[in-house]
Structure 1
Amino acid sequence: MNFKGKHIVLGVTGSIAAYKACGLVSHLRQMGAEIRVIMTEHATELVASRLFAELSGNPVAVNMFGKVTNFDVRHIALAAWADIFVVAPATANIIGKVASGIGDDMLSTSLISAHSPILFVPAMNTHMFDNPIVQDNMRKLHNFGYHFVDPDSGHLACNASGKGRFPEESKIFSAMDQILNGRGLLKGKKVLITAGGTREAIDPVRYIGNYSSGKMGYAIARAALREGAMVHLISTNPPLPHPEGADMEYVSSAVEMKQAVDRQYDTSDVVVMAAAVADYRPAAVADQKIKKETMTSPDLKLTLNPDILLGLGERKQNQVLVGFAAETNDVIAHGREKLVRKNLDLLVANDVSSPESGFHVDENQVSLLTPDGHVSSYPRMAKEDIGTLIIEKIASIMK
């Protein structure tokens, strides 16, 4: 997510979750964003404005008629300055004001003056959130182009339980990322992505695996979500936070992954096979742990796994099919051969022999190969940036 240099106005209202906005300000500033905070009078009863001033590095606006520090009309100036306006937490009160065109304090007036995208993060009692008037106000604003992050469900500060909790920061950041950086390149398209390395069981406690971390596949999923895609991510359950908005499915073995992919393939517009699928699996899996003492000379018989990507290429109709080639030598030559043999529309070739790129690190060095013989090679860069490159290339193929 790239918020560096972005101008973000954060509106904080009198929800009990107001203190959670402190973390938003701190983390956005650490990511390079410039933050200005507007608080309602009720919010200042819960969190001191001085705290937001320290966290943002800027004065906090509360009163419409406070001390004048320049000759700009302040609510107009902040509205014009913003790349995005985020109201977090957003009460039923502020949602209702904006939906009714009411501007009677600094925050509501600034929101009505804003030309930037506006993102509401509701946080309130579950009965308030479910109130048909509140729901109607949100629908009205949504129809006008305002954005919302759904609250989480769970235990609330009022000791009730239900929908209305302030959502995890990752959900808010994902929504902001799509609004600020997305271009709708894959809007409405279904994108199927696989990630991680499969595990082939030997017995209940041992398996054959590989070094894939899943980071590249997850980065591609985030890039696709940013561009408005409906993402189904089939993962081998690596210890990574799942991309917000993705439909997650977890598998372990190559056979399980094939079954999962086959269920989604025919209805997908794009398929990106970023997972490292084991070529072989044990011919037989022991029901009980194999004792070391009984295996003085282990003899593990292997059998071939199904070639998922080859089968997809043979069945391909209108899908854009993307494969990966993790190589240690002759990367481009091996990649070209795989591109043709498996009937791919795009192949991502990367050299995993370097400890600075490939498995378990946050950077990679790739080349993108297409059937027309074109090769685009890139220097080592963050996997998040490579994910963006791959999605941009897919979008260009689909035109």
Structure 2
Amino acid sequence: MPESFRTFVLKVHSRCDLACDHCYIYESADQSWRDRPLMMSARTAAATAARIEEHAAAHGLRSVNVVLHGGEPLLCGPAHLRTLLATFAGMSVRAHLTVQTNGLRLGPAFLDLFDEFRVRVGVSMDGGRAAHDRHRRTRAGRGSYDRVRAAVETLAAREGRFAGLLCTIDLRNDPVEVYEELISLRPPAVDFLLPHGNWSQPPPGRVPRGGTPYADWLIAVFDRWYGAVPPETSVRFLEGILVLHLGGRSGTEGIGPEPAAVVVVESDGSIEQSDALKSAYQGAAATGLHVATDPFDAVFGLPGVAVRRPPPSACLACPRVRVCGGGHVAHRYRDGAGFDRPSVYCPDLYRLIGHIGSRVTGDLARLGG
């Protein structure tokens, strides 16, 4: 169990200007977003900042990560977003500020604001036009690729602002083509997201005794990425597996036996667990806590929360558990049985981890020989 939270994900706007059909917030089991206020108020932001300061002081943290998230955070508009950024930039503990956006509204007004507050920006992008527009479409059904790519090109020209690209895997897309499209934008990092699903609602293409399609997809990316000289970018999910093979800690949610030290604050000030849990059932991420009344440390005292949940009992004898940790908690769920199961991606994780381990072990042997 983590001793403290290092990353605070703040849902500063609870709606989105895209209608992505693979969204785990709006298209999954938990629909609590419908009852949230549109924006995090200045008062809620101030209460959240005070709780972060309290938590940092209690645990001797010199810095924290604050991620402005949604929904779509840029729907707040530059003026309100400035108020929020000023609140968190002004805390007594140093805050590394990040915004995660779909990129549609990422123009000069926001980029100037992010320059002022030294905010790094992550953008969600699923590959080239066909891959991206398959899911990331407007409510009118129009694709968003052209606007997003143009925004990312502008972002990349701003020194120090580009955090990276987040890509949700779709098995229908060629993995190497997707990877090469993303790195053509010169991101400092690319993160590949397994679609959030579970045993009751399996992700696309993940069927019992159905092979290892997600491992196959990611192995193609790994081999292309790992073999590049000089290195082209960071790939967080794959690097997490590499680090764990070498005896380190990944720090990546869903990889490794230690839960990521992340907590979420909704737009109304509710304190929640990882929002990926919303893909399991209504209320799966809820804690019943609120920044107006509760410290973040109270999360650690709740029974059954994700930050305290060990790898599933069925995984303990597996040689891969030191690396996969049983997989992301959200992917272990089954109706009526809870979360004490291996990940629905277990066959994929097993094969992917084995492939990466073999490559690394072979390279180390050659270097030592």
TM-score normalised per structure 1: 0.29
Structure with the largest fraction of strand: 1
* Higher gyration radius (CA): 1
TM-score normalised per structure 2: 0.31
